[in-house]
Each structure stands twice: as C-alpha cells, then as structure tokens.
Structure 1
Amino acid sequence: MQPIHELYPLLTTAPKKVVVTMHQKPDADAMGSTLGLYHFLIQLGHDVQVISPTNWARWVDWMPGVANVLDYELHRSQADELIAAAEWIFCLDFNHFGRTKAMAGALKEAKAVKVLIDHHEQPDEASFNYGISTPGKSSTCEMVYDLIVNAGFRDKINKSVAECLYAGVVADTGSFRFSSTGASVHHMVGYLKEQGLEHARVHEQLFDNYLENRLRFLGHVLTNRMEVLYELNTALVYITRNDLYKYDIKTGDTEGIVNYPLSIQGIKLVGFIVDRDEVRKWSFRSKGNFDCNSFARKYFNGGGHFNAAGGSDHDSLERSVQAFKKALLENKDLLQ
C-alpha cells in the first residue's frame, strides 16, 4: 500500500468513475466521512457514487447527499455494475473487506485502484493500492479533512463537506470527551466554524432526533438488562430479541447505549451484546488501560480501538454472555 500523499497529484487528473464505500450498518463517522469525501470529489469533476453495504440509521438521513447513497442489499445488481466499472474505490472507516458483509466479494474482484482511509488497528494493507491507517486519529472524518487540506484543497470545504465531517468527529469523540480528541480536532472544528458550520444543528440531528420508543427502550435496558459486576469493575448490558421486537428497534437505535454504564464510579469495562437474528453482536468500551481491541480479537472475533471495539458470536445469547464472564475472570488482574 502506497502512502496516501502519493494519490494527491492524481486527484486533478481526468475525471474518474469513483465508488466510495464504508462498513456495514454505517454510523455517523462512516456515513459522514463517505459523504464528506463525495462532496469534495464531485467539485473536482469526478463521477462519484456512494454505496453502503447495508441500510443505515434514521438519524443520519439529514446529511447532505444521503438520499443518493445506494443500499447494496436493496440494489445489488446495480451496485455490482458500479463497483466493476469504477476506476477508483475509496474504502472508509473499515480496513478489511469482511466489514462490508455481502459486498466483500465485489470489492475484492474489482480492478479499480483501491484507497484506504481508516483509523482502526491492523489494516489489510495488501488489499489497497493507496492508503492511510492511523489508529490515533479521532475519526475517519478527521482523516478525510486532513486529506482535503494536505492535498491543497482547503477551499473546497463547503457547507455540505463541513456538516458531514463535523458529524463524524462529534460522534466518534463522544462530543469531544474521549482521549482521541487531540488539538488537531479542535483546530479542524475551528476552521469549519469559520466556514459557517452550524454545530448546534448537527448535534441536534444526531442526538435529539429519536422516536419516543427509543427513550422507553433505553429506560427498560438500564433498569432490566444491565448487570454490574463490581468485583470485576465491569458492567454487562444484554438486549434480547424480544426486546428488539417489543420496542420496534431499528438500525441505529442501540447506538451509544454501551457508553452509559461507563458513568458508574469504578467501572472500567462495559460489554454490550445484542441478540440479532443471525449473530450476537458485541460492543466493548473501557476507561484507562484496559485494551478492548485485544480483548475483542482474542475472545469475540472482533477488534477496533484500544478503548472501543466490537465483536460477534454465533453461539446463543446465554452462552455468549457466559463466555464473556469467563473471559473477565481470565483478565481479572487487568480490571483491578
């Protein structure tokens, strides 16, 4: 994989057919980074199509350009044709094709130049022609901002680019409270504000845009589905399939719930599991020096960042919870 700066001179060559994509079930950083890059590239004259591997949360539907995003699962034939015809494919907020679910095969087979922009650990560099992988960065949106600025196109950061990139940054930094929020993040936001960014509007769309059932679901979860293991400084939150049906939970409605137990005094690790139809999905969050990335990779076929990671388990909800508790005992010394 060649360094990303070697791509910069190519950005102003003859217009290219471009596909921009992200991981399945995209969050604000994934959708924000892809759309931010989309709004930048079309200003350079490129023919750009954003493709999501799956559907996405309702609370990103406000983003400029989201109406033109293609859902791979709903439009597979059309998406496959676009991927096969693409000259450039930008892969954002994931570093292994497996994170794109059913779209992975089409990406692997594509003859296009493939570009990685991501902040997760252990990228599959061999699958990309150009790229950058910086786990210390706050978000992929910050990395797209860096690309635009470092390539000499700061003047192309219009209102649409600014709104999309700010959304991913504010979401992935926990509204600027996570340790990944470096000085560069605040410099970026300062510049976006100078360009007319209405940050309060973006924050409202992201965090004050749920339906009533989601708030009632949250109350149910914190009251009935949270187990606090004080002897291990850990909290466990589990969502049953019946919970999802009862409260009509859609994609994105469980986003952020994993962070709530971290506010409990003494809690260093939170394990959050959702019982989906085909697989049990885990999210892990930690404070201090507990490595969620290594934990997720070792026990739950996952990975991510040091203090935030995810995983999956094809076993039942009950057995997966038991496996989590067993793993906690094996890591007891790290949780003290």
Structure 2
Amino acid sequence: MPDRVAGKLLQWYDSHGRHDLPWHHNRNAYRVWVSEIMLQQTQVTTVIPYFEAFMERFPDVHALAGAPVDDVLSHWSGLGYYARARNLQKAAQAVVHDFGGEFPQTQEELQSLAGIGRSTAAAILAQAFGIRAAILDGNVKRVLARYHAIPGWPGQTAVLNQLWQRAEEHTPEQRVRDYTQGIMDLGAMVCTRRRPSCDSCPLQFGCSAFAQGETALYPGSKPRKAKPEKTTWMVILEDGEGRILLERRPPNGIWGGLWSLPEIDPAYGADELQEACEQSLGLDCGEPELVSGFRHTFSHYHLHIQPARLSVTGGANTVADRDHLKWLHRHEALNLGLPAPIRSLLTEPEQAALL
C-alpha cells in the first residue's frame, strides 16, 4: 500500500515546497553534495550566498580538489564548523583520484568520503540520482519524532534507531527526490522547533504529538551541561611596514587550518605582553594598546578574547622562517581563510566589543 505520509507530503510539497533553490539548478551530485555539507548546522538563507560564491570559484569537483586550501577556507569563512570545508576538499580529491571524477552511486562508497555520513549520502543519492534512500537530518528528525511521538533526545542511539526505522518506512519508491526535499521543507517551514504551524501541516491528523497537544515535548532536548569558560590574549602585531602577523592554526581542532592572530597565555598580565611576545615570537614590541574584549561561543565552550595591539620595534624577520607565521597587509590578510571574529577584528578593531 502507498505510504499515507509520503502521499500527503508530496501533495503539500507540490504547492508549498521550495522548488527554486540554487542547487536545484543544473542539478548534479557535486552541487547537491556541497549544498548538503553547507546546510549542516546552517540555515538555507545563510547558505545561499555562500553556495553561489563557492560555485563561481569552484564550479566542479576538479576545481575544488586542485584549489589551494587557503582559497577553500577563505570561501568558507563565516559559515563556521570549518572541519566541513577541510573534509569537503579531502572528499573532492578522493572523488577525482579514486572514482575518476564521478561521484559514486552507492551508500557505502559515498560514506567512505570524508565528511559524508548516512543521511548526507542518502540525500546525494535521492537528490542527484533519484535513487531511493532515507534521509534523517535535523528537520526530518523533528517531523518524525512528533508524528510518531518518539520520546527522548535523538542523539541517543535507541532514539536514533527508531527515527531511522520510521524514515525508511516512509520513504517512497517514486518521486524520492521530491519527497526528501519536501520533508526537509516541512521541518524548516512548518514543523519548526518553536511554535510549529500545525494548522498548515499536511500531516496534522496523523500526528501523535499534535493529538496529545504536546508538540513541544518532541523531539526530546539534549541534556544541558554548563559550557566551560576560557580566556586568551590575541595580539595584533604590526611592523614598520604596516603588516599584521598572522598564525596558521593546527589542522585539527577549533578553527583548524585557518589563519588567526597569535595567542598569548592568559596567565600573562597586560604589562607582561611585551615580554611574552619576545619569549614566544622573538619580537621586540612597544607598549600594548588594549582593544575591547569580546566573547565567542563555540559548540562546547565560551572563549573570552582580549585583543591587544602592539607595534613591533625590532626586526620582523625573526619569524620569517616559520611556516605557520606570515606578515601580511590587512587587505592581503582579508583574502585568507579567517575565523569570522578575527576578520571583523582586523576590519574594524574598534567594533570588536559588538561581536
């Protein structure tokens, strides 16, 4: 028997779904894949301009695979979760070298590529190739958790397994491309996290959470833990030519592979920054000028950043032989992959407190 959920959802999608997103045009596996990676943890309205700029610079998988990593990170700057960009290029290189530049068309092979999990692989299969595959992104989890009144946080294995079972049950054999887009749209536009528009929902009369009057209970929330608070100095070091010293962060971890400002241990006081710069970088500097500090929140901790500007009075060439350090004029620095707070700080230092 045809699935009632799929039938009602497809009728709704035909009239109310999103049919004109940028990745729907000239649709292929590459464009679908890039859009799916960008849409992880990020809303459609935010993604659209990034996607369009990314496609203009990297129009196909070969262009992405062969690009300098700094160029890739620069076009990702502001989207956050930068491991996505690094994995994107790794996966592109694997597609070129291992699959002849053509995206594989099996779940297993797609999931062998960096950054592609079960749901993303399924979305590529359904959206690019029309192959039946069940997706389960955040929007779909919410729709299914409410429709079936599945209690608990989807990050728990038992809850996730129930959601996958339901996703598989409802995914149709026909029009799978429209179905997967439709159920994502329903979660994003109607079955929203707060104040869902139940009166506009095509699945209202079969929805167990609606029948209970308890849509807010589903899906269950992640158990809350207080985020740790960390502090660091970030120094804006400027030499006699007006160049700023940037430091490439390690490939893994927060802001991995991006260029940032050198950090100084917060154990140093403001009056010790000159000494700290000499000890860690071998630079003689003038008196520090403090810039308004600000807090930046990551997924698992808050970072209190205290910037300070220092003029380099000695030779700047003492750091020239270190691959992870680079002197650049501001306009050059802004062309690199920079974390959004650092980009704002270099663009308008006096506005740092507003971030």
Q: State the structure with bigger RCO (CA 8 A, min sep 6), 1 or 2.
A: 2
TM-score normalised to the size of structure 1? 0.24
Structure richer in strand, relative to its length: 1
TM-score normalised to the size of structure 2? 0.23
